[in-house]
Amino acid sequence: MKSTVEKLNTALSNLSPWDGLREVATLFPQGVVFSTSLGQEDQVLTQIIATGGLHVHIFTLDTGRLFPETLDLLARTEAKYGKRIQIFYPESTDVESLVAAQGINGFYDSPANRKSCCNIRKVAPLKRALKSQKVWVTGLRANQNQNRSQMNKVEWDEGNQIIKYNPLLDWSFEEVLTYIETHKIPYNPLHDKGFISIGCAPCTRAIGPDEDPRAGRWWWESSSKECGLHTK
């Protein structure tokens, strides 16, 4: 698999997102999935997949704690592109046990509690969504944080046993915004209020103009600002 990933990385590293997605969809028919969090980068990829008629299945994770604006954007996106986005939810019994043990907002109490919440609400549903798939497409960009700056366009995700493709890895934030404006892509209105990276409502705040793009996520703790979905 290491050899396959290296060959794919070489083949796709200089391709545009449009050509790269078309290539992986051809190489892995019915085996390519895209996980969207409905952020700006993911909205770009949704537009490319939907308007390009690419055979890439789109899904999202509803943690049960999302902003109303995020759920509204999901509906608007489906309506605009006439394409259903599959939703994966956490197991209800796991959430009930978590809340019984920690309280409804126990994730504020410690990094361990927060990671447990992320694991139940996000990581476990993601594993279900990726099961038996071949390629996982993401909207990660290299300049979002230090961890992501070390990534390649194509990698092997050991935790999920899947090839991971990041077609927007070398895009700047300005390129993302320009593409959204040019193609009139729907986006979350919270972005206009200083929310750059949007996750669960209790764990996301607006940031100032000089703060890191991920500073608004889990702002009460010192961490790599990752929930466990994207780690090397």
- What's the rounded Cα separation, in Å, for the pair 132 and 152? 23
**Sign of torsion over alpha carbons 52, 81, 39, 37:** negative
pLDDT at 185: 98
Q: Which domains does the chain have, with CATH numbers?
A: 2-203 (3.40.50.620)
Written as tens digits, the pLDDT of the chain (232 aa) is: 788 899 999 999 999 999 999 999 999 999 999 999 999 999 999 999 999 999 999 999 999 999 999 999 999 999 999 999 999 999 999 999 999 999 999 999 999 999 999 999 999 999 999 999 999 999 999 886 566 667 899 999 999 999 999 999 999 999 999 999 999 999 999 999 999 889 999 999 999 988 888 889 998 987 655 555 655 5
- What's the rounded Cα separation, in Å, for the pair 166 and 171? 10
- What's the rounded Cα separation, in Å, for the pair 154 and 6? 8
**What are the distances in angstroms from CA 189 to CA 159, 171, 192?**
33, 22, 6
Q: Is 200 a catalytic residue?
A: no
**Sign of torsion over alpha carbons 86, 92, 97, 99:** positive
pLDDT at 218: 92
Helix (H), strand (E), coil (C) string for the chain: CHHHHHHHHHHHCCCCHHHHHHHHHHHCCCCEEEECCCCHHHHHHHHHHHHCCCCCEEEEECCCCECHHHHHHHHHHHHHHCCCCEEECCCHHHHHHHHHHHCCCHHHCCHHHHHHHHHHHHHHHHHHHHCCCCEEECCCCHHHCHHHHCCCCEEEECCCCEEEECCCCCCCHHHHHHHHHHHCCCCCHHHHHCCCCCCEHHHECCCCCCCCCCCCECCCCCCCCCCCCCCC
pLDDT at 212: 84
Token reading at 64:
């049960």
> Which one, of 185, 181, 188, lies nearest residue 216 by Cα?
188
- What's the rounded Cα separation, in Å, for the pair 30 and 120? 27
Cβ 11 vs Cβ 42: under 8 Å? no
Note the pTM of the prediction, 2 decimals: 0.91
pLDDT at 145: 57
